[in-house]
Amino acid sequence: MAKTVKLLKCNNFFIYPKKPFNFQGTFFKPSHFPSKLVVYDNGNLIQGIRIDGDLFGLIISDASTKRTSRIRIRAYSLSGISKEIESKIKDELMVRYNLDIDISDFGKRFKSDEILAESLKKWEGMRPSTAYSLYGFLMVATVLQNATVGRSIKMIDSLLQNYGVKLVFQGKEVFEIWDPKDMEKITEEELRNLRIGYRAKIIKKISHAFASGEIDEKELREIKDKEIVAHKLRSLYGVGPQSVSYILFEVFHFYDALNYLSPWERKIISMLLFGKKTVSAERIIAFAKRRWGQWCMLAIHYLFEDLFWRSKREQIAWLEEEIRK
DNA sequence: CATCAGGGCCCTG
DNA sequence: CAGGGCCCTGAT
């Protein structure tokens, strides 16, 4: 079963994101499917991270003051961390959570937009973000395919139990995804025994692409052309338009990554924009592009996440229908 | 009990 | 470009 690593040494430091900044909205996305890779506990975001092959446990919390946006990082390790590692962790979080980007233009531009104004007021400073590495995100996207949420959770959990690392620190427990190289010696047969079906082949192939260096997250992040990134991602076996659209937005933070809407999201957004579930994806996309231009997906994201936040407090019957368990 | 679609994607024709 | 097949599950 999963290797367990206890991380006893703690280092404290801060990250300063650009303003406007919204901690909750950026670090916790209620619409996302839950996995043991991330724990949201009492305002703290708990996750693991792998830097140069070493594992760290992170407790991330809001430490903003009236004047300053600030994030506290408590980094747990085996034997303490150097300044160099500290700065690598900072850089990686800056990138994953999109913290060094100024998104004030979006807020200024649409604060009076009838559709957006309310969610903008609540969530201004929220960014598209991911707790995962690109590889981790792809693994999650793979188990999401053609399965109910319940089954997806079972699949990722059993993968983590077998190949992940359990990080234990500060009384918390969270998993970090395996290294792509670890998959090289696992057979497809063995993966299939975890009841992940045809996805075994996908995991093998994507892992190999990362292990061999054929695909590299850092390189992709340098590319500013969305279509080139999309094309490169699509060249991976088992990665189609749905996975790419999530990744372009959440991992690479292209605010206009809106070319594809899955059926369940289409219904929800249709309801949000037009008050009925029946509007086609093409019409929704055209509408959003015309209204919000280069921020079209970001705008949808604000509406979508705001809705899911509301649904945590109050029953929204029509939404419950669309969220498959 | 059987059937079916699911928070996709590949492959074929 | 449409449509069948893929693994397995839980819902019907």
User: Mind listing the pLDDT tens digit for each residue in A52-80?
Assistant: 999 999 999 999 999 999 999 999 999 99
What's residue A2's pLDDT?
Answer: 85
The distance (Å) linking the CA of A199 with the C1' of C5 is 14
What order of strands is seen across the sheet that includes strand A54-62?
A9-15, A71-77, A54-62, A44-51, A38-41
Q: Which residues touch strand C (CB under 7 A)?
A: A 146-148, 150-151, 154, 192, 195-199, 201, 325
Q: Are A306 and A123 in contact (CB under 8 A)?
A: yes
pLDDT at A321: 80
Task: Write down the pLDDT at residue A80.
Answer: 96
Residues 206-225 of chain A within 7 A of strand B, judged by CB, are none
pLDDT score for A202: 98
Distance of alpha carbon A223 from the chain centroid: 19
Task: Determine the pLDDT at residue A74.
Answer: 98
CATH tag, A3-123: 3.30.310.20
For chain A, give every domain's residue range: 3-123, 263-324
Return the pLDDT at A96: 98
pLDDT at A323: 81
What pLDDT does A324 receive?
Answer: 73
Residue–nucleotide distance: A73 CA to B13 C1' (Å)? 56
Using 50 as the pLDDT threshold, list the residues of chain A that sit under it: none
Indicate yes or no: pTM above 0.95: yes
Task: Tell me the residue ranges of DSSP E strands in chain A.
Answer: 3-6, 9-15, 38-41, 44-51, 54-62, 71-77, 165-169, 172-176
